[in-house]
Amino acid sequence: MNTLDLKKKAVQLRKNTWQLIYNHKNGHTGSCLSCADILVALYYGVMNQTLDNLNDPDIDTYIQSKGHAVEIWYEILADKGYIKQEDLDNGYSTFNTPFIGHPTTEIKGMEFHTGSLGHGLGLGVGVALASKMNHSKKRTFVLMGDGEQAEGSIWEAAMAAGNYNLDNLIAIVDHNELQISGTTNTVMRSNPLTDKYRAFGWDVQEVNGNDVEALVEILSKENNTNKPRVIIAHTVKGKGVSFAENRADWHHKIPTEEEYQKALKEFDAQMEALENE
């Protein structure tokens, strides 16, 4: 997929996510919009995973540690045909549904139940370690939040990944500097993340996490360092909706009808601009 198509895909999926959350009055709006470009880069530009090869041991694995941003992931899996769009649109957050507010293994393509923060990196370490033992070519991608960096279990996992030189593990921090109660610097200062991961034996890269072209480039880059790689992706929480950007209260806020319509117009304008490029 070329860069323009990736950008369009990101706008389309943001819009779908916005609609899903509005229609069901449930979801992590700002968090999904923040990491949309990261997921688009992974699913359409980086990972070799498709519906047909999911069980192949050499195929890349994606683990979403910041499980609450699940609606954008659902939309991607629906777009890629892993799940039916209709099932998602009708079933999300209904009684006895598999489409809940956190990733679940009941959904094809979601390999782990996550949601409790601070688990994904350790799971990724386990998958990456076993992949090495199994002589598998699998790469393991783990998406974390920046508020989540306060969980001690992340640093246990980070230490183990460095200790075992897991160069087949790629962690991404969705670094929008906001969490539910405010900025990550006021709630619990995790910065500087770069120095911390470097000290734990990681290859550290930084990128504009809302630039899908830059994301594809850095996520595809071969790792010759013999170290696990972390990508600190500088993002904007609520990206793509002017009045939700950089606002902590949009973490899981549901748009009003007026806000809903206003954002749809913004998405359409973004799409039109891309089509005129």
The site for other proteins (CB under 8 A) is made up of 57, 105, 111-113, 115-116, 119, 122-131, 133-134, 136, 152-153, 156-157, 159-160, 163
Smallest distance from the beta carbon of 126 to other proteins, in angstroms? 2
Minimum gap (Å) between residue 71 Cβ and other proteins: 21
Residue 175, classified by CB atoms within 10 Å of its CB into exposed (0-12), middle (13-18) or buried (19+), is buried
Phi, psi angles (nearest 5°) of residue 173: -100, 120
Q: How far apart are CA 72 and CA 75, in angstroms?
A: 5
Q: Which residue number, 128 or 263, has a Cβ lying nearer to other proteins?
A: 128
Q: At closest approach, how far in Å is the CB of 105 from other proteins?
A: 7
Alpha-carbon distance of 225 to 235, in angstroms, equals 26
Nearest CB to other proteins, comparing residues 94 and 163? 163
Q: Measured from the CB atom, is 101 or 126 closer to other proteins?
A: 126
Minimum CB separation of residue 148 from other proteins in Å reads: 14
CB of 202 to other proteins, least distance (A): 16
- For the bound state, the minimum distance from the C-beta of residue 103 to other proteins, rounded and expressed in Å, comes to 11
Beta strands 178-179 and 203-208, pairing class:
unpaired
Question: Of 40 and 128, which CB lies nearer to other proteins in the complex structure?
Answer: 128
Q: Rounded to an integer, what is the distance from CA 206 to the centroid of its chain?
A: 16
Q: Which is nearer to other proteins, 48 or 134 (CB)?
A: 134
Phi, psi of 65 (to 5 degrees): -75, -35
CB 93, CB 63: distance < 8 Å: no
Say how far apart CA 69 and CA 157 lie, in whole Å: 21
Pairing between β-strand 229-234 and β-strand 203-208 as defined by DSSP bridges: parallel
Phi and psi at residue 185, in whole multiples of 5°? Answer: -80, -25
Residue closer to other proteins by CB (options 87, 156) is 156
